[in-house]
Structure formats: C-alpha cells, structure tokens
Chain A
C-alpha cells in the first residue's frame, strides 16, 4: 500500500529525515517509536503533505502512485488520514457541519452519494458511539475549547467518518488519561480491517498495549535504527531508547 524509499526531508533548510525506508501493506499495523526530536512526527507530516517540510529526496508510492504528485487534500481523498497530535480549533464552524463537509468531499471523490444534513445526522450518531463522544460536541465549533482528550476523540471520529485506507496517528496518546486511551485504542482496533493499514507514531509504548502492532520501528536522528515485531515495544518499555541508540552507534562504528 505504502512504499517509502530513501526518503529525505528538511524544514527551513535543516535535514530532519535522512533516508527512511518503510513498506506498509494492507491489514498491517506499524508503530514508529523514538525519542523526542527523532523525526517521527515529521514523517507523518511529510506523508500528509505539510507545507513547512521540503522533500529533498527519495520516493513514496501510495497504491503505486507518487505521493508527492498530490496536494494534501488529494492525498486525503485518495485515502490517507493523519490524526494530528495537536488538532486545530476552527471557531464558527460546527463540528457536525465540518464532518459532513469532509465526508461529502470524500464521497464525491469516491463516486458515492453525498449525505444531506438529515441523513448525515443518522450516520454520525452511530459513529460517535464508537468513540463515546457526547452529542453536544457535534454542535460545538470544531475543536474549539475541547480538552486535549476531546480533540483526540474527535480525530478518531474523523477517521471513522472518512474511512481511510491508511491512517497515520500522531501521538494519539498525548493528553489522554488511561480510560480515554483505552476507549480510543479500542475504537481504532474496531476500525482496523484487512484492507486498511495503520501507522501509529508514539513516544510511549503504553498505547501499543491496546493497539497491537505487528511491526515496531525505532526512529532516531531521522533514520530508522531498528525494526522488529511487537516484542520490541515491550523491550523499549523496560529499557528506554538509549540502548537502541548505543547499539546503532556501535553498529555504525564497525
């Protein structure tokens, strides 16, 4: 589904990604882990098309198509979703009307029927159950005055509405208490399907107890230093990141 080859990217002329290789297939759950400043959030933003980052080399194919030929909105309509670490507040636009607008743009791109406000009302009331969101949050302005946890709930709701092929979830666990983390982790698990892939970007291994990845990659200094199965997350929980960095440094020195 997603094939990343020797991807390099920079921000304001400073290299942040220094050669990433990663293959993600449909049905797989990958976790990108790493210390702060490692470049793991950058990877998500570059894939989603954040305008501050410049792709300086390499290639990313999404379902065989060059991702960098597509504007961010076209990537979204093609089936890439990024759950933001810090979702943006948009005053004056109700959450429900924004969700319907986003749904209809995707439906239009997919050649499906758009939903009118009444139809969407039924549709969204089913979806909010999945993330245990209270109804009042549909009428409020998009993310405005939402707590950190409520914003994350809204991100997963958007994922449920947009039904992406590839969902990149950037630091889903930040700002969440344990209960909310379990609710959203379960929601993500229920959304996972054989034709969908997940890329979980996280600093802390805790979320991976709920959303269990088949593949764990440690990113540091703009490179993937180590890839393994889910047991790597457990090891990182016990030992931290330093040993991976040391191991990589030693490997590099040899």
Chain B
C-alpha cells in the first residue's frame, strides 16, 4: 500500500507492510497483545516528544519484506574464547550449522527459542508491557531468537557468544529476540553482536532477568550495514544484590536507536555504558531509563559519542528514583566529541528523584578536542594529525578498557583505530 504525502514522497504504510507477513503460531497471547497496542498507537509520529530528534521518514519510504533463510560465512566473526559457546541467527532464523555449543557447561541452557518450551520462558514479562512500538513489532513477528538460562550459583567460566546476522538482497525486516535468565547467585558473560549486509530493518528485543546476587556482564556490539536501521529494546530487572553491567558499542547503521530499561531492586547494581562512532549522515539515538525502585541501588552510566561529518547523536538519559529508594547512588555522564562543524549532538539528562537520601549526579560535555591535550602530545613529538587521532582513539578506547573477552577487546580496538584514523600510529593495545 502506498499513499501520497504532503511532501510528495511516496510513503508506505510501514506498519501494514511489516505486519502483512503471517503471524507465527507460537506465543499467541504475546503477539496478539502487541498487535492490539500497535493498532491503537501505530508507529511514532514525527512530532512525538520521544522521537523528535530521530526522524523515521527514511524508514517509512522503504517497503521491507520478510527475511528469507540464508547462509553466511561466519568464520571472520568467530572469537577463540567462544568457539564452542556460540549461537548464530541469520535473518532471524536459527543457523544450526554455524552454531556450536559443545563447550557450554552442563546445566546452562543456551538454545534457540524455537526449540524451547513456551511455558518455561515467559517472554514479554520483564519490565513494562511495551517500551517502544518497535518492541511490539518484534513481539508480533519475531521468528526465532535465543534463550539463556543459568542455574543457581553456577558461575559460567566461558563467555557465551550470540551472533545476529542479516543478509538482505532486497529490503527485509528482522526481529531478533533474546531472553536471559540468571538464577540466584549465577554469573555469566554474554557477547551479543549484530552484523549485516544490505538494506534492512532490525528491531531486536532483549529481556534480562537477574535473580538475587546474580551477575551478568553483557557486551553488545552493533556493526550493522551503513544502509540498515537498528531499533533495539533492552529490558532488565535486577533482583536484590544482583548486578547487570552492559556496554553497547554502536558502529554501523544509518539510523540506530537503543532503548535500555533497567529496574534495580534493593542493593542492586547496574551499569549502562555506551559508545557510538558516527560519520557521514549516521544517526544514533540512545534513550535509557534507569529505574531505582528500591533502596541502596547503585547505577553508573558513561555514554560517549564521536560524531563526524553530518552525523548526529542523541542521548536521553532518564533516571527515576522511587520514594522508597533511599540510599540510591546514581551517576550519569554523557561525553561527546564533535569532529566536524556540521556534526551534531543532542544530550539530555532527566533525573526524577522522589527520595531524599540519595547521591545522584549527572554531567554532559559536547566539544572538540582540548588544545592543552593536543599540545601535550605534540610536545612529545607527535605531529598535529597524529595527536588528534590518538586523542580521538583514546576517547573511544576508554570505553573498551574493561571489555572482558581479550580477543573481542582487541578486535574492537582495531575497529576503533580504523574509524579514528589511528591505524598509522601502530599497535596501541
């Protein structure tokens, strides 16, 4: 279906097109509820406050079809620490021949949703019903995804690797789904990567449930095609004394949006770190929500963007401290480096604090490289270009310092070096 708009551009009924594919039979209730919400609200309008800096017009001009099964070569994406602990999904479908779970310890479930029992994994139960219309789209049409369950007190030694790959001939839409459950005292490191080729929309939904005292370290890497749209939702609930630490690294996509939502119970800890490297006319938006629901929670956010060309970064960081969440310690920092005159950043902290005994701080900086820092490096013999590139690299690499998987850390540093023109500086790891 196509209608003429005031601007004269053909604009598809995006929602109608995306929902035109048959509704998969499983998870019927979840899908019906999501479709009902979509029928009521539709996709975000251009004037809505929550989406005012992130223009979906380009998205609406593309008729995305369903993604067919496809084969891809993942050899370049394998990491030595995780060769036996990976699940691969291509175009939203599980890829059994490229997955390998031989090293996953006994007791840990790390399965495609299509082989897991519906009753065991209550999808759509973490957090609010719907954080975004794209979450509802995912719920309505996801084909497959992964479920991870770590039993009580099991500390998983090897990190788990999830690869979501999209390979599109024509424009396709994919809806990766992930449910992570850590039982009491469990510990896990998880690497979630998104890669792709072609024009596509990916709208992943990740749900995380962390029981008392459990700890999840979650590395999220977005390396989608420069022609792709990535509209992701993450919802995490952290029970008493549990910890959720995530780091979201955004490199690709013409337009990306990350919507992490985290609820902290008593004494829980969360960190939501982020890095976006943007060039050309890329747009990257992060809308985060940190919900201190109970006393003595600790949260930390460091969000960094490097914006070049005519690219644009948006950060909106909401922190909500409930009246009973006394003793909350919440820190948020948004640091942005502009490398060109026409690059743009919109950053906005939003703190709502209803408890009186709390420590909450936030800060935001937007600017170019510091001349004092450049002079320091030049005074050590680096020419002006090298000094600039080294500082730019360091600004980004700072976020990678604590990536726990060594081979991933190396790969990300190399990627950052390439994107910050720091390759000529040699090995900086």
Contact = CB atoms under 8 A, between A and B. Distances in A.
Contacts of B32: none
B384 A88 contact: no
Contact of A117 (B386, B397, B398, B427): B427
A238 B318 CA distance: 60
A88 B427 CA distance: 21
B27 interface: no
Contact of A93 (B372, B378, B383, B397): B397
Interface in B379-429: 379-384, 386-387, 390-391, 393-401, 425-429
Contacts of A105: 380-382, 386
B394 A97 contact: no
Interface string B348-387: 0000000000000000000000111101111111111011
A101 interface: yes
A88 B394 contact: no
Given A92-B395, A92-B401, A94-B428, A51 B383 contact: no
A169 interface: no
Contact of A102 (B370, B371, B381): B381
A102 B381 CA distance: 6
B390 A93 contact: yes
Contacts of B390: 90, 93, 98, 101
Given A93-B393, A94-B428, A141-B398, A76 B379 contact: yes
Contacts of A3: none
Q: Chain B interface: which size bin?
A: 20 to 34
A90 B395 CA distance: 8
A213 interface: no
A3 B362 CA distance: 50
Binding site secondary structure of chain B: helix
Contact of A101 (B373, B375, B376, B425): B425
Nearest to B335: A91
Given A92-B396, A94-B428, A141-B394, A102 B382 contact: yes
Contacts of A72: 375, 378-379
Contacts of B386: 101, 105
Contacts of A109: 381
B401 A73 contact: no
Nearest to A87: B376
Highest count of chain A CB atoms <10 Å: which of B370, B378, B381, B397: B381
B418 to A, nearest CB: 15
Given A52-B371, A141-B394, A76 B401 contact: no
Contact of B428 (A50, A75, A93, A162): A93
Interface in B319-363: none
Contact of B378 (A73, A81, A104): A73
Contacts of B376: 84, 87-88, 90
11 contacts: A72-B375, A73-B384, A73-B387, A90-B373, A91-B398, A92-B396, A93-B390, A97-B426, A101-B386, A104-B426, A105-B381
Given A73-B383, A101-B382, A158-B380, 15 more contacts: A71-B378, A73-B378, A73-B387, A82-B379, A88-B372, A90-B373, A92-B394, A92-B396, A93-B390, A97-B428, A101-B425, A101-B426, A102-B382, A105-B386, A141-B401
